[in-house]
RNA sequence: GGGCGAAUAGCUCAGCUGGUUAGAGCGCCUGCCUUACACGCAGGAUGUCGGGGGUUCGAAUCCCUCUUCGCCCACCA
């Protein structure tokens, strides 16, 4: 008897020795390989189901954010794979323009150099080398958490293929008039030395100072009118060197008489006019605004309306300086070359000394910062490339509004709509070196229109003279917005993959890149493919520490998923985050107490392992008879009950997961009742847990023990039911805890498995006969048992002692 | 300034379209090393579902309002 319960399974789940082996087995079995030919879109017999990974930065190191994001995707893709879809999960990385360039620049800084010291070509090859050596290691790390990506399709935004997609997109938009060169005020990072898009310049509440500065009135002869003047309020006094006017509201009686006269711009000592413009709010401050067209987007508009000059008085790195050909000169010698913040102090001091500083007050306002280096962004007039977004936004807006694309959880739907309705043109040029060079060439000899080309241009087609390529590179997001198409072969719309797998299905991400990436992918999908890129956007929560702070490298409160895998296994990590995360809700984990944080997953993994250990030991190695061959009259009440519970569990799991795609077919929108339903992964997981633990283990296994002894009468029936139910349970749980389920499933005593069969590609459980009636009989037994247990506990009877009932 | 979300057991959270004694995990209490599992088993305690008002036969669930947190967006100098 004891030999029967002997087994080779360790008493505790040992992930370290099991998981790598299982992962290798999946790879060897080709379990994650998607085959275009099997897609029903091109004649196959399986509905395709595709997820593209949000490509991590190529230099990234795995953190909990990835752990969470990738686990969600893996659960979904494994579910669909088992449901019989041709499931494809496309992996890849993003070259991450600014982020990666910053990494290399930091390396150079250690050597006391800047990128300008080494030069563009050397800088790029150095970066490429760095990426070659370290890039993609994050994808390797994903193996450890069980990610079932099709690695043969690994993509990279800077690969030759995706680079040509980027050029194609640029040229097409240019030819349609949707990309243009714009001269306007953009956000400028004086540390990264590049322009930024609106999204990349993040607002940050800051307590600053509002300075009230007096600009004396000038008489017609240029002398100062001692009696009068105007006072302007500014938070950035240093920009006054670029002032070309002061504006008052046209209907403001206080200042009406001053319009047309000049005031004296202090420090620069220049006369500037008083103009009337409705932009001015008479109620704010003094009702007088200084106009600095080159360093403020609103002032730029005013400047355009009034035909004012637009002097730039600050350099790229943020030092005060006139442009070389500037007339008149505005930056005094003693301020030239001085950093903008230092200049601010000096100007304020000087104004104070001259009695021109009327007042200073603390002022709470939102200052934009560079999203990559947190430097205060400077509005700056420059020439940049822009995407005209309004025409792209229209279909993207309509698509989401009508349910062509649903956004989960529901509350993000409105956020998307609001953003898309107020979208502004997208600055796509960056003054960086790492990225896709803008495919535009200029001929300085004949100076004609810029040449925008898919192919490199080596000579001017008009005058055969030399050409030079635009120095700038494209915003990193200009390549990632094509990701669902470019990874499948676009612009070749005849490619097998794009026909088989586009549109993709679910896009999983954190809400932080809804605008950066998701909204733009939607625009690109409709623009370039004429169809949605996916039908579902699933936005999950983010990882926070116990005090609610977002986990981040800089705060040092992050968790390395690989530590968790090492300690408790990938399944414990996966179970914990999936079970503990309501849709769109942040998950709290304690980096200082991993054991506590991952207890739910660890406990569940161990429990499942032990159920398997007991079950495999008791049923033995002899293959069981398939349940279908057992006459239903031989089933006990307990058998009927567990089969009924299994059926209910399937139904509840299916309901929680919902429809995998819009039910109306390829081009259909989501019907209202399914619009915001489905993908409730935590409910699915909880249902599966309850079934396996509270029903299968606590009741069925316990009540079946006596039937499993070697000489028990209906041992064969019990073995069949047990193996059948456990097999189904392993399938049900596999998407969440793939390693343990695979490991146990491999050992099930069933005949007919091919030697290389893996659970990962088995079918999601199918429904069975109706056992509800007899199941109710067992429920009566349960009631009785629970009543007895309660009595035992109440009277403190030891479990060993028999009780007469 | 605009928009959104959250407030449910000691902690972290589920409670979908209002309807039997409000749930889970962790923690806590009692008893169990019952040879699958003490990372476990059995039993148990703990909630005027943020405050106030309303709709309804009936509300944690719908409406209004207040309070406290949090998030997103934003060209008021």
- For the stretch A762-773, pLDDT in tens is 998 766 677 777
Decide if pLDDT at A800 tops 60.
no
Listed as ranges, the nucleotides of chain B within 7 A of a protein C-beta are 3-5, 12-17, 24-27, 30-32, 34-44, 70-77
Alpha carbon separation from A784 to A73, A281, A411, A788, A793 (Å, rounded) = 44, 78, 47, 6, 14
**Which of A75-84, A542-551, A579-588, A618-627 ranks highest by mean pLDDT?**
A75-84
> Where are the strands (E) in A388-531, listed by range?
406-408, 426-427, 429-430, 440-443, 451-452, 467-469, 473-474, 506-509
Q: How far apart are the first and last CA of chain A?
A: 30
Report the pLDDT averaged over residues A444-451.
Answer: 85
Query: Which nt is closest to the CA of A288, judged by C1'?
Result: B77
Distance CA(A431)–CA(A545), nearest Å, equals 37
User: Do A506 and A534 form a contact (C-beta atoms < 8 A)?
Assistant: yes
Band (A796; pLDDT cuts 50, 70, 90)? low
pTM score: 0.94
Distance A518 CA to B66 C1' (A): 38
| Residue-wise DSSP of A32-60 | T---GGGBGGGT-SB-EEEEE--PPBTT-
Average pLDDT, chain A: 90
Query: Which nt is closest to the CA of A656, judged by C1'?
Result: B16
Alpha carbon separation from A413 to A71, A100, A419, A477 (Å, rounded) = 23, 32, 10, 21
Query: Chain centroid to CA A270: how far?
Result: 50
Distance A582 CA to B76 C1' (A): 39
Decide if pLDDT at A256 tops 70.
yes
Distance A619 CA to B25 C1' (A): 31
How many other C-beta atoms can be found within 10 angstroms of the C-beta atom of residue A644?
A: 22
Sequence length of chain A is 805
Query: Which nt is closest to the CA of A800, judged by C1'?
Result: B34
Report the pLDDT averaged over residues A307-334.
Answer: 93
Reported ipTM exceeds the 0.90 cut:
yes
The Cβ-side half-sphere exposure at A730, using a 13 Å CA radius, reads: 26
Tokens of A564: 């968790």
Decide if pLDDT at A567 tops 70.
yes
Residue A803: the pLDDT is 47
- For the stretch A736-783, pLDDT in tens is 999 999 999 999 998 878 888 999 999 987 666 777 777 777 777 777
CA closest to B2 C1', residue: A418
Residue A770: the pLDDT is 77
CA closest to B41 C1', residue: A698
Distance A722 CA to B36 C1' (A): 14
Band (A32; pLDDT cuts 50, 70, 90)? very high
User: Do A82 and A73 form a contact (C-beta atoms < 8 A)?
Assistant: no
Query: Chain centroid to CA A514: how far?
Result: 7
- For the stretch A466-525, pLDDT in tens is 999 999 999 999 999 999 999 999 999 999 999 999 999 999 999 999 999 999 999 999
Query: Which nt is closest to the CA of A541, judged by C1'?
Result: B71
Distance A244 CA to B45 C1' (A): 75
Distance CA(A150)–CA(A484), nearest Å, equals 15
Phi and psi at residue A737, in whole multiples of 5°? -125, 70
Report the pLDDT averaged over residues A631-651.
Answer: 90
Distance CA(A663)–CA(A665), nearest Å, equals 6
- For the stretch A117-145, pLDDT in tens is 999 999 999 999 999 988 888 999 999 99
Distance A699 CA to B1 C1' (A): 60
Query: Which nt is closest to the CA of A617, judged by C1'?
Result: B36
Tokens of A517: 């990436």
Beta-sheet pairing, A536-539 with A506-509? parallel
């Amino acid at each position: 008897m004891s030999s029967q319960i002997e087994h080779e399974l360790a008493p505790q789940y040992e992930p370290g020795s099991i998981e790598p082996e299982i992962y290798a087995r999946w790879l060897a079995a080709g379990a994650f390989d998607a085959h275009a030919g099997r897609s029903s879109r091109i004649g196959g017999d399986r509905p395709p189901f595709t997820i593209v990974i949000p490509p991590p930065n190529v230099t990234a190191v795995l953190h909990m954010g990835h752990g969470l994001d990738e686990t969600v995707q893996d659960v979904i893709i494994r579910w669909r794979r088992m449901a019989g879809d041709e499931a494809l999960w496309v992996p890849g990385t993003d070259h991450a323009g600014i982020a990666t360039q910053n990494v290399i620049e930091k390396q150079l800084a250690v050597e006391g150099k800047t990128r300008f010291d080494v030069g563009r070509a050397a800088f790029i090859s150095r970066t490429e080398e760095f990426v070659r050596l370290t890039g993609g290691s994050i994808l390797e790390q994903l193996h450890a958490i069980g990610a079932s990506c099709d690695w043969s399709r690994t993509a990279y935004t800077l690969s030759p293929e995706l680079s040509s997609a980027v050029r194609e997109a640029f040229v097409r938009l240019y030819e349609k008039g949707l990309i243009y060169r714009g001269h306007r005020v953009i956000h400028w990072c004086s540390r990264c030395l590049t322009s930024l898009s609106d999204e990349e310049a993040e607002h940050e509440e800051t307590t600053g100072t509002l300075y009230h500065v007096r600009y004396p009135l000038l008489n017609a002869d240029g002398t100062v009118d001692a009696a009068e003047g105007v006072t302007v309020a500014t938070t950035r006094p240093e920009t006054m060197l670029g002032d070309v006017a002061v504006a008052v509201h046209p209907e403001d009686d206080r200042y009406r008489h001053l319009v047309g006269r000049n005031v004296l711009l202090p420090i620069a000592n220049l006369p500037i006019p008083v103009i009337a413009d409705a932009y001015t709010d008479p109620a704010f401050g003094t009702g007088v605004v200084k106009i600095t067209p080159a360093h403020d987007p609103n002032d730029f508009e005013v400047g355009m309306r009034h035909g004012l000059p637009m002097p730039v008085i600050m350099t790229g790195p943020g030092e005060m300086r006139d442009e070389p050909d500037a007339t008149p000169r505005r930056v005094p010698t003693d301020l030239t070359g001085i950093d903008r913040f230092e200049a601010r102090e000096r100007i304020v001091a000087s104004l104070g000394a001259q009695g021109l500083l009327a007042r200073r007050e603390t002022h709470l306002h939102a200052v934009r910062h560079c999203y990559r280096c947190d430097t205060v962004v400077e509005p700056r007039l420059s020439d940049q490339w822009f995407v005209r977004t309004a025409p792209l936004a229209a279909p993207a807006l309509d698509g989401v509004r009508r349910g062509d694309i649903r956004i989960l959880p529901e509350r993000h739907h409105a956020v998307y709509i609001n953003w898309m309705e107020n979208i502004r043109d997208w600055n796509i040029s960056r003054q960086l070196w790492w990225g896709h060079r803008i495919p535009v060439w200029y001929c300085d000899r004949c100076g004609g229109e810029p040449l925008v080309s898919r192919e490199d241009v080596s000579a001017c087609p008009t005058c055969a003279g030399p050409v030079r390529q635009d120095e700038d590179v494209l915003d990193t997001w200009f390549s990632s917005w094509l990701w669902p198409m470019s990874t499948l072969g676009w612009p070749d719309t005849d490619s097998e993959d794009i026909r088989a797998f586009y549109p993709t299905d679910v896009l999983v991400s954190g809400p932080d890149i809804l605008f950066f990436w998701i909204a733009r992918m939607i625009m690109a999908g409709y623009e370039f493919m004429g169809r949605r890129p996916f039908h579902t956007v699933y936005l999950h929560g983010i990882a926070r520490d116990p005090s609610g702070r977002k986990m981040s490298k800089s705060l040092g409160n992050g968790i390395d998923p690989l530590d968790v895998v090492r300690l408790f296994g990938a399944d414990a990590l996966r179970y914990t985050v999936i079970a503990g995360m309501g849709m769109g809700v942040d998950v709290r984990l304690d980096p200082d107490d991993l054991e506590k944080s991952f207890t739910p997953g660890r406990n569940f993994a161990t429990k499942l392992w032990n159920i398997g250990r007991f079950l495999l030991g008791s049923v033995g190695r002899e293959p069981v008879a398939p349940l279908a061959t057992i006459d239903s009259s031989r089933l006990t009440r307990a058998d009927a009950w567990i089969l009924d519970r299994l059926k209910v569990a399937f139904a509840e799991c299916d309901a929680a997961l919902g429809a995998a795609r819009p039910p109306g077919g390829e081009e259909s929108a989501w019907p209202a009742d399914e619009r915001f339903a489905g993908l409730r992964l935590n409910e699915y997981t909880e249902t599966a847990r309850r079934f396996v633990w509270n029903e299968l283990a606590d009741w069925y296994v316990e009540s079946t023990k006596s039937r499993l002894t070697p000489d028990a009468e209906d041992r064969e029936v019990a073995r069949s039911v047990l193996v059948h139910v456990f097999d189904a349970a392993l399938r049900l749980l596999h998407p969440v805890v793939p390693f343990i389920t695979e490991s146990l499933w491999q050992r099930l005593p069933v005949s007919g498995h091919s030697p290389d069969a893996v659970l990962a590609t088995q079918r999601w459980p199918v429904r069975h006969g109706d056992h509800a009636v007899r199941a109710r009989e067992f429920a009566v037994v349960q009631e009785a048992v629970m009543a007895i247990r309660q009595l035992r506990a109440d009277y403190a009877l030891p479990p060993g002692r028999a009780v007469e009932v």
